[in-house]
Structure 1
Amino acid sequence: MKAVKLTTLYLTIVLVSIFNSLSAQQPNPPGQVENSEDAINQAYLFAHMTHEDYGKLYYSVSLDGLHWYALNDRKRVFDEYHGHPDICKGHDGRYYIAGNRGDNSPDINFWVSDDLVTWEKYSTYTPDLKSTPDYSYALQRIGAPKVYFDQGLKQYIVTWHTPHMEGTKEDAERYWASQRTLYVLSNDLKIFSEYPTRLFDWDMGTIDVFIRKIGENYYAVLKDETYPTLYWTTGKTIRIAKAPSILGPYSEPGPSISPNFREAPMLIPSPDNTVWYLYYEQYPGISYGLSIADNMNGPWYQASGYTFHRTWDKYGLPSSVRHGCMMTISKEEYNTLVDHFGIVK
C-alpha cells in the first residue's frame, strides 16, 4: 500500500513537471516597463495599407510596441491618400506623409496634419529622373517614397527607388535587381534640390530605404534587392548601412537582420528607450517578423511571433496588414486617435 502511494506521488510530480514545462512562459522581449507611466515612449502608431486594399491608408496602434490593434473598424482613415505610408514630424511641428499614385506616376505627393486625424494636401514634387548624375538611363519609376526630417540640420531628405532595366519574360528579376535609391533635399517640402542624386556609391539593388540619425551616426535601413543564391545569401533581406553624415558615404551594408524574402522594414525604440524593435514583412502579406537589438550595430535576434501559440508569440499585429511605417506618439495623441476612430481589440 505504501509503495502504491509513493508511485502515485511520483507520477503526480512528473505530471506537474511536464505541465509546467509545457506552459512555462518564456522571457518577454527586452525594453518593456512594468508601469506604463514609466515609459519614455508611451505609445506607437502603425500607418499601413492592407492586403485587400493595397496602397490605401489604415491605422493600428500599440502601447508597448509589440501588441498592435486596428483603428476605425479596420477601415480607411483617409480616402485621398495613396502610396506606401511614411510619416515624419516636420519643421513646423506638424506631421507630413509621403505617397504616390503608383510607381509609374511621375509625382511624389505630400499631405500635412496637425493631429494625425485630419490630413490635407500640402505639395507635389515631380523629379526629373533623367537629370540624375551618372544615372540618366533611369526608367520613369518612383517606388515607395519616404520622408525624414533631420532636426539638427533642419532639413528633409526624401528617398525612393528607381530601376534602370525593364523585366523580361526570361528574366523578370533583373527589373528589381536594377533598383537604385535616389534622394532630394528640402527645407520645407515645397522647394527641392535641383535634381535627384543616388544615395549609395555601391552597385547593388536597394529598395524601401529609410534613414535615421541615432547618436552621432546616420543609419540607412534597406532591403537588399538582389535575388538570393548560394553566392549572394543576403538577397531579399533587411540590412543596415552606416554613415557619418546624412548623405554618406555609407558603409557596405551589414549582415542580414531578417530571413530571405522580407521587405518594408520599420524601426521603433522600445518603451524604455534602451532597445530597438525592427519589423519587416514576409511578402506578399504573409506575416511580420521582429528583430531586436540594444544598438543599431547589433547583434540582432528574432523574436517569436505568428506561431499562434499564446505562450510563444511575443508580438502580434492585426490580420492582413501590409507595409507602411511605425512611429512613436504621445499618450495624448494615442487617446485622440482611439477616441476619434475607435479601437478593435
Structure 2
Amino acid sequence: MRKFLFPVFFLASLICSAQKQVYLFSYFTDNGQDGLHYASSTDGLHWSALRQGASYLSPEVGKDKLMRDPCIIRGADGQFHMVWTSGWHDQIIGYSSSKDLKNWSPQQAISVMEHEPTAKNSWAPEVFYDDQQKQYLIFWATTIPGRHADIADSEHEKGLNHRIYYVTTKDFKKFSKTKLFFNPSFSAIDASLLKKGKWYYMFVKNENPKPAEKNIRITKSRKAEGPYPVEVSAPITGKYWAEGPTAVEIGDYVYVYFDKYIDHTYGALRSKDMEHWEDVSDQVEFPKGIRHGTVLTITEAEFNAIK
C-alpha cells in the first residue's frame, strides 16, 4: 500500500487558515514613559489589557525617552515593524522590529526632520506597507514655523501648525529624503492609512484651534503614496474632541477607533461603505488609561505566545 505524503507547506497553510483571528491594540499610557502596552479583542468591541496592563518594551531613544503613539504593522517580510513618538520636541522617531511581538530588536532613532533646524517635533508616526511599490511608508506630523498657511491662527496654539511628512524605505536601513505627504488648508496631525479595495483611505485629524475643530476627516487616493486630495470629508466624529484614528476591517464593517482625549476615554465608529458612519462608542470597552495607539490582526498562536 502506497503511503500518501501530505505536503508540509500545505499542512502549515491549513493550520494557519484554521486559526482564529485576534485583534491586537498597541498603545501607551500616561506620558509614554513606561513604553509599549497591548490590549486584545476577538470581536473589535470588547478589549482587555494583556499582562494586567504591564509594559512589553521600555523606550530607549530620544531626548525624553518616551514611547507614545506606537504603530505596529506586519511587514511583507513576515516581521512586525513598529514606529513611535520618542519625545515632545524630537526631530527623530523611534523604530524597532520583532518576529513575535515580544522580543524586539535594538531600538533605532530614524532621523526624519534633523535637516530642518527649526522643526519643532515629529509626532504620531505611522508605518504602512505599499504593496504596489513594494516599499514602506513612514509618515508623521511636524511643525516648521512659517512654512505653511495659517488660516486658523494655529501657530498661536503653542506655536504649532502641523503638516504630514513622510519617507520611504525597503529595509529600514536606507531611507528616502523627507517629503511633504499631505498639505491641506488646516493644521493636520495623526494621519493613518487603510487599504480597502482599490482605494487607500487616509484618516486625519483637523487640529485647527479657531474655531476648534479637533475632529477626524477622510481623504482617499488610488496610490498609497498619494497624492491625497486636500478637499477632505466632513467630520466623521462628533462634537467631542478626537485624535489618533486607527482602522481595521472586521466582518462587513470598517471600524475606526480614536482617542477621546478630553474625556479620557476611547471611541469608535463603523461603516459598511466608507461614507455613512455609525458612532458605536457606547458599545466599546477599552482598558482604563489607554492612549493613542493602533490596531492589527494576528493569529491565535501569535496571541497565545504573548499573553
Q: Normalising by structure 1, report the TM-score.
A: 0.73
Correspondence list, 1:302-313, <5 A: 302-305=279-282
How far apart in 2 are the matches of 1:99 and 1:55? 13
1:151-172 residue CA offsets vs partner (Å, 9 max, x unmatched): 3321100001111239xxx974
Q: How much has 1:304 moved relative to structure 2? A: 4.4
- Classify 1:140/1:57 alpha carbon distance in 2 versus 1 (closer, same or farther; 3 Å): same
What secondary structure sits across from 2:106 in the alignment? strand
Q: How much has 1:142 moved relative to structure 2? A: 0.9
Is the counterpart of residue 190 in structure 1 residue 173 in structure 2?
yes
Contact 1:182 1:196 (8 Å CA) reproduced:
yes
Is the counterpart of residue 207 in structure 1 residue 189 in structure 2?
yes
Contact 2:34 2:58 (8 Å CA) reproduced:
no
- The aligned residue for residue 267 of structure 1 is 247
How far apart in 2 are the matches of 1:180 and 1:152? 25
Runs of 4+ residues over 6 Å off in structure 1 = 38-41
Letter in 1 for 2:167: V
Is the counterpart of residue 83 in structure 1 residue 68 in structure 2?
yes
- The aligned residue for residue 175 of structure 1 is 159
Structure 1 counterpart of 2:220, from 225, 230, 242: 242
- The aligned residue for residue 331 of structure 1 is 300
1:134-161 residue CA offsets vs partner (Å, 9 max, x unmatched): xxx8524111221111233211000011
Structure scoring higher RCO (CA < 8 A, sep ≥ 6) equals 1
- The aligned residue for residue 316 of structure 1 is 285
- The aligned residue for residue 18 of structure 1 is none
Contact 1:150 1:213 (8 Å CA) reproduced:
no
Contact 1:107 1:126 (8 Å CA) reproduced:
yes
Q: How much has 1:90 moved relative to structure 2? A: 1.5
Structure 1 counterpart of 2:80, from 86, 95, 116: 95
- Classify 1:201/1:172 alpha carbon distance in 2 versus 1 (closer, same or farther; 3 Å): closer
1:255-278 residue CA offsets vs partner (Å, 9 max, x unmatched): 1111241101111111x2x21111
1:99-149 residue CA offsets vs partner (Å, 9 max, x unmatched): 242032232221111011111126432124546xxxxx8524111221111
- Classify 1:244/1:43 alpha carbon distance in 2 versus 1 (closer, same or farther; 3 Å): same
- The aligned residue for residue 149 of structure 2 is none
How far apart in 1 are the matches of 2:89 and 2:277? 36
Which one has a larger percent strand, Structure 1 or Structure 2? Answer: 2
- Classify 1:122/1:139 alpha carbon distance in 2 versus 1 (closer, same or farther; 3 Å): closer
How far apart in 1 are the matches of 2:241 and 2:304? 36
- The aligned residue for residue 160 of structure 1 is 140
How far apart in 2 are the matches of 1:155 and 1:41? 28
Letter in 2 for 1:302: D
- The aligned residue for residue 201 of structure 2 is 219
Is the counterpart of residue 150 in structure 1 residue 107 in structure 2?
no
Structure 2 counterpart of 1:121, from 106, 122, 137: 106
How far apart in 1 are the matches of 2:114 and 2:157? 22
What secondary structure sits across from 1:333 in the alignment? helix
Q: How much has 1:54 moved relative to structure 2? A: 5.2
Letter in 1 for 2:303: Y
* Count of matched residue positions in the alignment of Structure 1 and Structure 2: 277
Unpaired stretches in structure 1, ≥5 consecutive residues: 1-37, 132-136, 306-313, 339-345
Unpaired stretches in structure 2, ≥5 consecutive residues: 1-16, 61-66, 147-153
Contact 1:55 1:83 (8 Å CA) reproduced:
no
1:147-205 residue CA offsets vs partner (Å, 9 max, x unmatched): 11123321100001111239xxx9741633x1011011111111111x21111243321
- The aligned residue for residue 255 of structure 1 is 234
What secondary structure sits across from 1:278 in the alignment? strand
Q: How much has 1:213 moved relative to structure 2? A: 2.1
Letter in 2 for 1:198: L
Instruction: Pick the structure with greater CA Rg.
Output: 1
Q: How much has 1:40 moved relative to structure 2? A: 9.5
